[in-house]
């Protein structure tokens, strides 16, 4: 099926401003069907009106439905997903300049419009169960403040990956932001296959910890990486305490890498045991799992 991307613009904006036209064209060249709906009464956005309008545009959710929201568009997408009766996972979601709190609003009229969006509670669990992945872009010089607070909320409540770009303001035309390659790159991550190879335990800890004598660097893992890297982004992380493997330590290192339904995971020896346990606990869907000489953690 064709992947659909819905870009929900911000407050007092429209589909022809800021970076929306650029991203729409860029995604269409990648084969996406891109819809940038013009939201109603954009100068005085109201929660139920915006949710209802988005629902009419989107209709049914599925795994090929992607969302990109800007500012109050992020709020709209969250509140829309919260209310939808859908038990599956949708495609990737990207939020740009998303917020839960705002500061430095222009006047009392603007504060009155913003207050329902800020103060109406959101059931994060209902949203989270529909997300396959969420990435949030914030700016280091966000004019409406609360950068750290919004970052923490997105991370804790929705398990989002939060990226802070330098000096993008509120990511608007007024901030001279018309193209942001990072948005396109983030979408493409979901389309590209990547591979992560997890090594096994070592018989000699000192040798293993020394990059010049590390035995696994001399055999099939580096050769496999070299072959795969011609077409597939491949990582071979060095896991902590390789002679006395600890699941939680392995997990912290492993989860620094990007994993999705197009990821290939290869394990060697006790690395196999780690991957099987991690996949069992997280229920993560991947493209392929390859186990070489499986062995349990000692």
Domains of the chain: 4-189 (3.40.50.1820), 194-292 (3.40.50.1820)
- pLDDT of 288 reads 92
Query: Residue for token digits 């770009």?
Result: 165
pLDDT at 95: 98
At 31 the pLDDT is 84
pLDDT computed for residue 223 by the predictor: 85
At 298 the pLDDT is 55
- The Cα–Cα gap between 145 and 105 comes to 10
Low-confidence ranges of the chain (pLDDT < 50): 216-217
| CB 266, CB 196: distance < 8 Å | yes
pLDDT tens digits for 214-225? 554 456 888 888
Quick one: pLDDT at residue 202? 66
pLDDT of residue 122: 97
DSSP notation for the chain:
-PPEEEEE--TT--TTSTTHHHHHHHHHHTT-EEE----TTTTS--HHHHHHHHHHHH-S--TTEEEEEETHHHHHHHHHHHH----S--S-EEEES--S---S-SSHHHHHHHHHHHHS---HHHHHTT-S-EEEEEETT-TT--HHHHHHHHHHHH--EEEEETT-TTSSGGGT----HHHHHHHHHTTS-EEEEE----S-HHHHH-TTT-GGGGSHHHHHHHHHTTTSEEE----SSSSS--HHHHHHHHTTS---TTEEEEEETHHHHHHHHHHHHH----SEEEEES-----
pLDDT of residue 220: 84
Instruction: Determine the pLDDT at residue 2.
Output: 81
């Amino acid at each position: 099926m064709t992947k659909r991307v819905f870009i929900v613009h911000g407050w007092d904006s429209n589909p022809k401003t800021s970076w929306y036209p650029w991203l729409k064209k860029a995604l269409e060249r990648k084969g996406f069907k891109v819809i940038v709906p013009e939201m109603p009464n954009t100068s005085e956005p109201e929660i139920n009106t915006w949710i209802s309008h988005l629902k009419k545009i989107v209709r049914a959710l599925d795994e090929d439905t992607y969302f990109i929201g800007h500012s109050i568009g992020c709020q709209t997408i969250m509140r829309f997903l919260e209310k939808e009766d859908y038990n599956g996972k949708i495609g990737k979601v990207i939020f740009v300049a998303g917020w839960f709190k705002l500061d430095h609003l222009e006047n009392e009229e603007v504060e009155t419009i913003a207050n329902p969006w800020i103060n109406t509670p959101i059931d994060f669990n209902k949203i989270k169960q529909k997300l396959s992945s969420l990435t949030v872009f914030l700016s280091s010089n966000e004019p409406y403040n609360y950068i750290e607070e919004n970052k923490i909320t997105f991370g804790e409540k929705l398990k989002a990956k939060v990226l802070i770009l330098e000096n993008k303001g509120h990511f608007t035309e007024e901030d001279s932001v018309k193209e942001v390659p990072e948005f396109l790159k983030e979408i493409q991550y979901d389309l590209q296959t990547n591979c992560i190879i997890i090594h096994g335990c070592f018989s000699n800890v000192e040798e293993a910890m020394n990059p010049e004598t590390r035995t696994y660097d001399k055999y099939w893992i580096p050769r496999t990486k070299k072959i795969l890297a011609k077409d597939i982004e491949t990582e071979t992380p060095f896991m902590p305490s390789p002679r006395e493997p600890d699941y939680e330590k392995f997990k912290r290192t492993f989860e620094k890498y990007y994993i999705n339904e197009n990821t290939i995971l290869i394990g060697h020896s006790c690395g196999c045991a780690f991957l099987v346990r991690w996949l069992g606990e997280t229920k993560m869907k991947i493209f392929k799992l390859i186990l070489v000489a499986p062995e349990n953690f000692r």
